[in-house]
Amino acid sequence: MKQFQSRCLLVVALLSIVAASQGWAAAGTVRSGGAIQLGSVTYRLDGVDVPPIDQLCINEHADVWTCGIEARDQLAKMIAGKQVRCDDLGADPAYRKRRIGVCRVEGETTSLGQLLIGMGFALNAVTSAARFKTDEARAREARQGMWKGCFVAPREFRIGRTDGVLLGAACSPERDREIRKALFPEHAAMPPGCNIKGKYAVRARVTGNRGIYHLQACRSYPGLTEPDRWFCSEEDAQADGFRRAYNCRANSKGK
């Protein structure tokens, strides 16, 4: 009986993978502003650079806002109650355990990534040449989303580059230092439900990573009072190039 149940579960899992990879429509689950899950497959939206959950931006009134959370919420609104189709473009070379996908709401011709760029919640990815540059320019001119204030490109936020180019209509050279301090605070607030701490570390480069993440079950967790990043899941942390701290218990996955 147990063998039969195991085989059934295996068949269901395989079917979900095949369905997602072939672009069949299914209900999607938003993992972040730039990632959507169909069945057991998580796709990174092709051609776009979307702010991660913990990225902060400044609005036109010089107030800090959680643009990463807003990007995720905007994507969730796009697919709410709808079927999503993702055309699989192959393994993601930058994010382990994920695929590259051109994802659309069933019946729509414009991809979700292109829609996010048009709303000002994503940038044209460097690797996609000028594919969505027109959409990005229109969002910038109309001061949509992140463009209404000041921010750094998501790709630069991910690597912790605090001296990167400031983008947006409200970036004042006279307030450069103040703005950067707000975008990269020493004590970044934990996003709701995202309690995994990340710290950039040179020693992580030995394993091909840029940082180390710490779960609540890790001995190092309480002492890490100034994390550089916050993640909602281990998969998200690993996708951004962080490895788990070695002092975590073997059974501490996801805690």
pLDDT tens profile 41-80: 999 999 999 999 999 999 999 999 999 999 999 999 999 9
Residue where one domain finishes, among candidates 144, 162, 183? 183
Per the domain annotation, does 15 fall within a domain? no
Per cent of the chain over pLDDT 70 is 87
Per-residue pLDDT for 1 more than 70? no
Nearest by Cα to 46 from 3, 82, 100, 120: 100
Per-residue pLDDT for 176 more than 60? yes
The domain containing residue 225 runs over which residues?
196-244
Q: Are residues 36 and 121 in the same domain?
A: yes
Residue 97 has a pLDDT of 82
Residue where one domain finishes, among candidates 159, 183, 207? 183
Per the domain annotation, does 67 fall within a domain? yes
Is residue 233 classed exposed, middle or buried when 0-12, 13-18 and 19+ CB atoms within 10 A define those classes? middle
Q: How many domains does the chain have?
A: 2
Per the domain annotation, does 253 fall within a domain? no
Q: Are residues 150 and 239 in the same domain?
A: no
pLDDT tens profile 214-233: 999 999 999 999 999 999 99
Q: Are residues 31 and 95 in the same domain?
A: yes
Per-residue pLDDT for 188 more than 70? yes
Residue 28 has a pLDDT of 86
Confidence of residue 88 (pLDDT cuts 50, 70, 90): very high
Per the domain annotation, does 123 fall within a domain? yes
Q: Are residues 178 and 205 in the same domain?
A: no
Residue 20 has a pLDDT of 44
Beta bridge partners of 166: 152
Per-residue pLDDT for 15 more than 50? no
Q: Are residues 100 and 212 in the same domain?
A: no
Within 10 Å of residue 180's Cβ, how many Cβ atoms? 16
Q: Are residues 136 and 221 in the same domain?
A: no
Confidence of residue 14 (pLDDT cuts 50, 70, 90): very low
Residue where one domain finishes, among candidates 138, 155, 183? 183
Per-residue pLDDT for 3 more than 70? no
Alpha-carbon span 25 to 136, nearest angstrom? 28
Residues in contact with 230: Cβ distance below 8 Å, sequence separation at least 6, in sequence order: 53, 54, 188, 190, 191, 194, 195, 196, 197, 198
Of the listed ranges 2-16, 36-50, 107-121, 152-166, the least confidently predicted one is 2-16
Mean pLDDT of the chain, nearest integer:
88
Per the domain annotation, does 172 fall within a domain? yes
pLDDT tens profile 197-219: 999 999 998 888 999 999 999 99
Q: Are residues 80 and 177 in the same domain?
A: yes
- Locate 179 and state its tokens: 């703005």
- Locate 208 and state its tokens: 């091909």
Alpha-carbon span 60 to 67, nearest angstrom? 13
Alpha-carbon span 145 to 28, nearest angstrom? 23
Q: Are residues 179 and 202 in the same domain?
A: no
Q: Are residues 128 and 201 in the same domain?
A: no
Q: Are residues 121 and 206 in the same domain?
A: no
Nearest by Cα to 85 from 48, 51, 110, 53: 110
Q: Say which residue, 166 or 107, is predicted with more confidence.
A: 166
> Which sign does the torsion angle of CA 191, 194, 195, 199 carry?
negative
Per cent of the chain over pLDDT 90 is 72
Q: Are residues 228 and 179 in the same domain?
A: no
Per-residue pLDDT for 19 more than 70? no
Per the domain annotation, does 161 fall within a domain? yes
Residue 17 has a pLDDT of 47
Per the domain annotation, does 140 fall within a domain? yes
Q: Tell me, what CATH number does 148's domain have?
A: 2.40.50.90
Per-residue pLDDT for 192 more than 80? yes
Q: Are residues 173 and 210 in the same domain?
A: no
Per-residue pLDDT for 11 more than 90? no
Per the domain annotation, does 52 fall within a domain? yes
Of the listed ranges 4-18, 38-52, 130-144, the least confidently predicted one is 4-18
The model carries a pTM of 0.84
